[in-house]
Amino acid sequence: MQHVVVDPITRIEGHLRVEISVDETSGTVTDAISSGTAWRGLELVLRDRDPRDAWAYIQRICGVCTTAHALASVRAVEDALGISIPNNANYIRNIMAATLTVQDHIVHFYHLHALDWVSPVEALNADPAKTAELQTSLLNAYRLDLKVPDEVNTEAYPHDFPAATPQYFAAIKNRVQAIVASGQLGIFAAQWWDHPDYKLLPPEVHLLAVAHYLEMLDKQREIVTPHVIFGGKNPHPHYAVGGMPCAISMTDGNAPVNTARLAIVDRAINMARDLVNNYYLPDLVAIGVIYAKAGRVDGGGLSKTRVLAFGDYPLTGYKGTSSGGYFDNLLIRSNGVVEDFGMGVAKARFTEVTAEDLKVPENFTEGVEHAWYEYPDNVPKDLHPWQGVTKDKYTGPKTGTPTMWETLNEAGKYSWLKTPKWKGKLCEVGPLAHYIIIYTKAAKGLLPEPTWAEQMMLKQIEAVSGVLGVPAEVWMPTMLGRTACRCLDAQLAAEINKFFFDKLIANIKSGDTATMNNEKWLPETWATECMGVGLYEAPRGGLSHWVCIKDGKISNYQCIVPTTWNACPRDDQAGHGAYEQAMMTTHVAIPDKPLEIAKVIRSFDPCMACATHIYNAKGEKINIISTDPYRR
């Protein structure tokens, strides 16, 4: 066994540490630990606050997926108070959600994950002319008929199209050459550029992807313009319990939403579609085909055993989640759990998640067996979120000091993340889960009349299976499949964005400009005690916010976020979580350069900075590798 430390591992905010034991002769990971290393206690911040303000506080959980938490929060409070929202508010929320999904996935692929696949050093060996030829061929390699129902075409041609000339790629190559020659790699620093994985791709793919990496630094920020129009700003756009705070007027030039500003939203939506179809998908396919042919289909982990999703995009304004209004009204009905997908879709089992399931105490729970929290002695081992307790109990590492850890105590508490469970079982969440569930439901005849969006998901899966040359149940539950499904989810969200924008325009034209329902705005209209849950299929997976309100104030608030599901510590009965299982099903070629471990963790798009520590059976630390050039 060999031990290596990689610190940190992700390229985004937050804190995560994972420890693995690896057999250096076979490259097999025999054990893994995933540890969330930071806790801010936002659930405690919300106690005794006005529930109408909850969204503004709780979306500060993150500076990346802010609108996700705001949306789940207002849905939870509206569920508790029995508030229905206008159609326009629902359309606008869906547009903002789809906008986040496209932008988040593009940023993840190009800026948080791409450098695990492609290298600027390898790009220096590329022929610019051949790269231009590759770009042209890729644009024709993956095309789908993605006609959105009742789509209104508002652009004559794609404005955002990849450059495909030798001169362009020669200029990019010269730029990269200058960076490498200077010895100051900047954004390309701190990576194992001599790892053999980088030799899997031809130099032209490396140059193409590096060029698009640089382009997307500028382009991605324009995608989120709808957040600024409808929510006033980004990040942390504004929401409102009962609807949206943006008034609509087609005659007032100073109105938050008017003709001119809707045109800006339309431009951003069309731009996002172009970026996904013309950049993201072809680049993903270029890499994915080569990895599939090389037999690199490991890292599936828990996705082979159990995945969960909540579904999303209500078609019209609705009332209630726990009362059924949310589930009865979904464009994508992925609300459910699929088990044993890795055994083949014929043997996979689907269980629907319903409104009633949310209220059963044993169905959705959180445990703290290996988390730095404690539950009172008189409560069950696992608690439903409405009865959730957030009381910290930090016990420190197995060896080292409270602030300078050497090894974590896998037999005791080792993470600030709780362990969420569905019926006592651990689940993986994310776009991969979303797609596995729809695919399984269709294969088992559980989607007799699929929506246009569900039909598109099935076409996407069929197309990728054809391009990769392997069945869906082979490529999907893998590290490659997890990355590919995130790209497909971006393409789907880009079309959903257009779908709901067209609905918004049609509804405004009919004379309906309402965006807010104030009937239950005042506390005297609320029940003395009530509970609610808000669900959202966020870019990283199933998100749920749970609120209890008493005497007009929040008495309890719990969030079960996607990265909690995936990065949670193990449970002695239920086993390992998604991160831990994914690492344990990943082959490591060079233990002191564990690029494969970084790649599989980043395939989840974890919303945290994290570190990977690898130890042998004796717990001896052999080497520390820093991936942060400024950390010593």
Condensed to tens digits (0 to 9), the pLDDT of residues 495-511 reads 999 999 999 999 999 99
Mean model confidence pLDDT for the chain: 90
Q: Is the pLDDT of residue 614 over 50?
A: no
Q: Is the pLDDT of residue 20 over 90?
A: no
Give the H/E segment covering residue 594: none
Residue 621 φ then ψ, to 5°: -85, 125
Average pLDDT over residues 267-286: 94
Q: Report the alpha-carbon distance of residue 353 to residue 309 in Å, rounded.
A: 8
Q: Is the pLDDT of residue 10 over 70?
A: no
Average pLDDT over residues 166-177: 95
DSSP string, 110-171: IIIIGGGT--HHHHTT--HHHHHHHHHHHHTTS----PPTT-----SS-S------HHHHHH
Q: Is the pLDDT of residue 398 over 50?
A: yes
pLDDT band at 188 (very low <50, low <70, confident <90, very high): confident
pLDDT band at 154 (very low <50, low <70, confident <90, very high): confident
Q: pLDDT at position 610, please? A: 24
pLDDT band at 34 (very low <50, low <70, confident <90, very high): confident
Q: pLDDT at position 404, please? A: 83
Given a contact cutoff of 8 angstroms between Cβ atoms, the answer to whether 59 and 67 are in contact is yes
Q: pLDDT at position 159, please? A: 79
Average pLDDT over residues 173-184: 86
- Burial level of 363, CB count in 10 A (0-12/13-18/19+)? middle
Average pLDDT over residues 89-106: 97
Average pLDDT over residues 134-153: 76
Q: Provide the 8-state DSSP code for 386.
A: G
Q: Model confidence over 518-540: pLDDT tens digits? A: 999 999 999 999 999 999 999 99
* Structural domains of the chain sorted by starting position, each given as residue range(s) with its CATH number in brackets: 4-358+425-626 (1.10.645.10)
Q: pLDDT at position 147, please? A: 64
* 358-372, 426-440, 607-621, range with the lowest pLDDT: 607-621
Q: pLDDT at position 190, please? A: 63
Q: pLDDT at position 615, please? A: 34
| Residue whose tokens read 């955002």 | 160
Q: Model confidence over 570-608: pLDDT tens digits? A: 999 999 999 999 999 999 999 888 899 889 999 999 875
Q: Which residue has the higher pLDDT, 402 or 211?
A: 211
Q: Is the pLDDT of residue 223 over 90?
A: yes
Residue in 547, 164, 500 with CA at minimum distance from that of residue 313 = 500
Q: Is the pLDDT of residue 161 over 90?
A: no
Q: pLDDT at position 623, please? A: 45
Average pLDDT over residues 444-465: 95
Structure-derived torsion over alpha carbons of residues 460, 136, 217, 69, reported in degrees to the nearest 10: -10
Q: Is the pLDDT of residue 617 over 50?
A: no
pLDDT band at 625 (very low <50, low <70, confident <90, very high): very low
Q: pLDDT at position 314, please? A: 97
Share of the chain above pLDDT 70, in %: 92
Q: Which residue has the higher pLDDT, 618 or 463?
A: 463
Give the H/E segment covering residue 535: strand 529-538
Residues forming a β-bridge with 351: 337
Average pLDDT over residues 390-415: 89
Average pLDDT over residues 37-41: 79
Q: pLDDT at position 18, please? A: 75
Average pLDDT over residues 147-174: 85
Q: pLDDT at position 278, please? A: 93
Residues forming a β-bridge with 364: 422
Given a contact cutoff of 8 angstroms between Cβ atoms, the answer to whether 85 and 243 are in contact is yes
Q: Is the pLDDT of residue 187 over 70?
A: no
pLDDT band at 631 (very low <50, low <70, confident <90, very high): very low
Q: Model confidence over 411-442: pLDDT tens digits? A: 999 999 999 999 999 999 999 999 999 999 99
Q: Report the alpha-carbon distance of residue 380 to residue 414 in Å, rounded.
A: 21
Given a contact cutoff of 8 angstroms between Cβ atoms, the answer to whether 132 and 244 are in contact is no
Q: Is the pLDDT of residue 627 over 50?
A: no
**What token pair was written down for 415?**
């993470």
pLDDT band at 542 (very low <50, low <70, confident <90, very high): very high
Q: pLDDT at position 619, please? A: 42
pLDDT band at 182 (very low <50, low <70, confident <90, very high): confident
Average pLDDT over residues 375-391: 94
Given a contact cutoff of 8 angstroms between Cβ atoms, the answer to whether 608 and 112 are in contact is no
Q: Is the pLDDT of residue 192 over 90?
A: no
Q: Report the alpha-carbon distance of residue 400 to residue 491 in Å, rounded.
A: 46
